[in-house]
Structure 1
């Protein structure tokens, strides 16, 4: 168990946000499915990204990791030797799991998927239904990730509900253009997390694969396409920048660098949410920052398109005037932890007034957070980082347990936090 003591501080200075984890997954996969050699620049070797790199290696890609870039020699090459039995360790990465399941069905042989944490509780029925329709063999262990699949995916028509994770749709979008025949994905209900689909289609287009998107109701996919190698740079991650925007809304003074103001990332919604709550945003040549010049006020936050930023905007809402409601947030219950329960429990411990609903939160703003006790990350990177930002406004220090889970997406978070002036006492570190 690893522990940090965090004392009230004002973060100030410049920070380079990590590269987008969502885009990094997609660029590495597209490069690995391409012919030729690609270089992907601005890579941060978080646990999730390492899981995807290792997964593509299992399928035959040659990926050399350098300091902040990877060089990828694609799977479709003359000297490829495909293992007929493969083990893909997804660690705790839901993206790796759901992207790789259909991709693995491009190849002969058996693929075994394993993982840790709550990953085995993530629903996979959407794929199981496809397996049954196409005669693909599989077995799995309930509530843990220990699954084997054997068979090859066939082109055709696929019907998926829109209120499931977009990761299922992305996994099929990656795979279907490589099949020997055309396919169509029909979405039967209103689609959530459209921005993640946009990121997938944009990245695939950059690597030479085109898909027709009919207003997110259906995707028309020509078969026999090829991914083409290229050099690619990953932009900064708005889901990580959200922690610093939130810190600024709470009184810090941070210039946030390496963000694309025209990004397709859905987590850029943090700018609109905090703007409605009273933050003013300023764009400079190489950075963005925000500040609150009056007071923070309540709003209604729809989590359906930006679930990853909900824990940290909940923190801002906790000290905003009035009642904030977070809606359409049910999917947060099946992330690395039950994030609705986790953020409610931990922020309420330190003085917030949050009521948990089945698919959302009701937050009554308070004047201040007290701190003065132990809080737990629930071994979830976004809960840990949210609690660290909370410490900057707590009257008394907090003790954060299991902080090292930030390695899942932002391994250097606490280095950056300290560099910006965060008051960290490492007396409690160690097992």
Structure 2
């Protein structure tokens, strides 16, 4: 489906939805407690619904009402189905593979084809010397069998932090103590910090020394009520809209968060953007931006909106160290370049980097979503500084993380 965007100015206040990343982790931690609790400030998206469905199949019950999710995990482990359906959620797949290894059973992960094209090499390398079977039955099916036991584990950190988080979540529940060593550079470290924060909040202790994690066994997650933080990954689009097209106050974002994408505030300020802290939230105002070089290795989800910001800045800027972007919902190096150039901007690939020449205005036109929710949202923000309308082909991909995006962007903020 195609969405027409003709928004040239934004003004107002918008509440950012709950963090999808915190939501996944809190759902799992509360379920692993085998108790009851309530998650407040909770928002639904396709990825979150995938995690909920997997938990439901493992015996967890829930009731959602008025942005509050009540969880009853007292029957966790009493399977309703051993066919997990993570849909297109990479977090769900990579978190639930270790979770199913708490049980010595056969599980099938039935995925969308695109999800199993994303790498699982870290788990494949980790489990090959253990009594664990992990094999792809087809382009849409992954079979897992075995039982995880405590020990010393070595994992690469340069593919995705989700593998590290997946193991960390289950190691405390094993009978013995474990050590997890991460080799190479730990990319997207902020997401591992988020995992550790949620685990601590639910009563789990992990000792960390650099990239070595020591986890005592026989720990228990504590059932509790928990409030989910607002999502800086989604807030980035609204803050960018403010500095490109008007005056936007973003509410619901926590100061001092563990979210790596909170770095968007620093990056925009480094580009000359005006963002002020107010009693109501972060206020972003129309600014003249200058192009800079930005390392995206720790914040890959910011890439599309940073590409839009650079394309509307003075000078030439680079998005650096984007190797892992090849394995997101789309090849996000190629699709970010395609989005910018299709709208009349000047961007090109340079190995694993993106080089962008800034302009005062983009031309507009048709942008393809490539089934990537972040390309959709970045394209909509680009319309603020486009001479013509922007048409987003495949805009429904936004439902993966932010179903209310267009309601917030068009109906709450846009002044034509």
TM-score, normalising length from structure 2?
0.97
Q: Does 1:6 align with 2:42?
A: no
Equivalent residue, structure 2, for 1:268: 262
Q: Is the 8 A contact 2:13 2:413 kept in 1?
A: no
Aligned partner of residue 285 in structure 2, secondary structure: strand
How far 1:423 sits from its partner (Å)?
A: 7.0
Return 5+ residue gaps in structure 1 as ranges.
425-431
Mapped pair 1:236 → 2:230: yes
Partner of 2:403: helix, strand, or coil? coil
Alignment partner, residue 177 of structure 2: 182
Task: Tell me which residue corresponds to 1:130.
Answer: 126
Partner of 2:61: 62
State which of 299, 303, 309 in structure 2 corresponds to 1:310: 303
- Asked whether the 8 Å contact 2:11–2:246 carries over to 1, the reply is yes
Residue 83 (structure 1) shift: 2.9
What does residue 328 of structure 1 align with?
Answer: 321
Q: Which residue of 1 aligns with 2:186?
A: 191
Question: Which of these residues, 168, 171, 192, is aligned with residue 166 of structure 2?
Answer: 171
* CA displacement 1:281-327 (0-9 Å, x = unmatched): 2111231012255x211111011111101100110100111110111
Which of these residues, 156, 164, 189, is aligned with residue 161 of structure 1? 156
Q: Look up the SS of the partner of 1:250 in the other structure.
A: helix
- Look up the match of 1:108: 104
Q: Is residue 96 of structure 1 aligned with residue 92 of structure 2?
A: yes
CA distance in 1, matches of 2:191, 2:374: 18
1:203 alignment partner, one of 198, 206, 213: 198
RMSD: 1.6
For residue 130 of structure 1, report the CA deviation from its aligned partner: 2.6
Partner of 1:259: 253
Shift of 1:84: 8.5
Number of residue pairs matched? 416
The 1:423–1:330 alpha-carbon spacing in structure 2 relative to 1, beyond 3 Å, is farther
1:65–1:71 contact (8 Å) kept in structure 2: yes
Asked whether 1:214 is paired with 2:209, we answer yes
Instruction: Please give the alpha-carbon distance, in whole angstroms, between the structure 2 residues aligned to 1:398 and 1:298.
Output: 23
Normalising by structure 1, what TM-score? Answer: 0.93
Match of 2:380 among 385, 388, 391: 388
| Cα offset, 1:8, TM superposition | 3.7
Which segments of 5 or more consecutive residues in structure 2 lack a partner in the other structure?
A: none
1:250 matched to 2:244? The reply is: yes
CA shift, 1:422, in A, is 3.2
